[in-house]
Amino acid sequence: QSALTQPASVSGSPGQSITISCTGTSSDVGSYNLVSWYQQHPGKAPKLMIYEVSKRPSGVSNRFSGSKSGNTASLTISGLQAEDEADYYCCSYAGISALVVFGGGTKLTVL
């Protein structure tokens, strides 16, 4: 059970859009439409931003969207705002025994 692969860092200017990729395998991302994304500000607990690939929990801005193609899931943040600067982690269901696997995390910097 290996961690999902994410870029270590991405950056963008206010108002721009960025996309964070999350690459897994046919045993996790590729097999289930059960990818979630978490936002984590420094010193804080993670917060669910996207679940089941593209669904947003109540209260999460529609600037956040998710998608998946094959073994790779993506999180897109449009209209970047300073408050979006945080670490982002993807997570995929990986079967009944392994349950879930997290990505290595991506640090988003808003320039």
Q: Kindly list the residues in this chain that would bind other proteins in the complex (CB under 8 A).
A: 1, 3, 32, 34, 36, 38, 45-48, 51-52, 57, 89, 91, 93, 96-105
Task: Give whichever of 62 and 97 is closer to other proteins, judged by the CB atom.
Answer: 97
What is the closest distance, in whole angstroms, from the C-beta atom of residue 86 to other proteins in the complex? 13
Nearer to other proteins, 14 or 41 (CB): 41
For the bound state, the minimum distance from the C-beta of residue 87 to other proteins, rounded and expressed in Å, comes to 9
The pair phi, psi for residue 82, each rounded to 5°, is -55, -35
User: Among residues 18 and 101, whose Cβ is nearest to other proteins?
Assistant: 101
Residue 74 Cβ vs other proteins, minimum distance, rounded to whole Å? 17
